[in-house]
Amino acid sequence: MAQSTLIPPATAAQNTPQPFNSAGSSFIIVGADNLAMTETAPLWIQIGSIFKQVTDTAGNIITLTASIPAVQLIGGPVYAATKSATAAACGVYVIGGSPRVLAA
């Protein structure tokens, strides 16, 4: 599986969900580097035409943090990521799936 850069490393927040398609992958791994303390990279799933935050089977929101810098997600859906402002340049990366731009 190839790694793709979903959000290039930067200190600025990325508040617009950056989508990627996981179709054709049985699973994907999403990770962020250089997150510290309260910095986060929330993950989203496309439901119809909108994005909702990804949750686990217990209903807990899945967000990348300094202590949880990567997660494995089931393949198939369109996911997206955002990120908070960070002290150090932080990027978000996907292993498997393929980044894509949403149609306007």
pLDDT tens digits for the chain (104 residues)?
A: 688 999 999 999 999 999 999 988 899 999 999 999 999 999 999 999 999 999 999 999 999 999 999 999 999 999 999 999 999 999 999 998 665 544 43
Domain count, the chain: 1
DSSP state of 71: E
Burial 40-74 (b: 16+ CB within 10 A, else e): bbbbbbbeeeebeebeeeeeeebbbbeeeeebebe
For the domain that residue 19 is a member of, what is the CATH number?
2.60.120
pTM as predicted = 0.87
Does some domain include residue 104? Answer: no
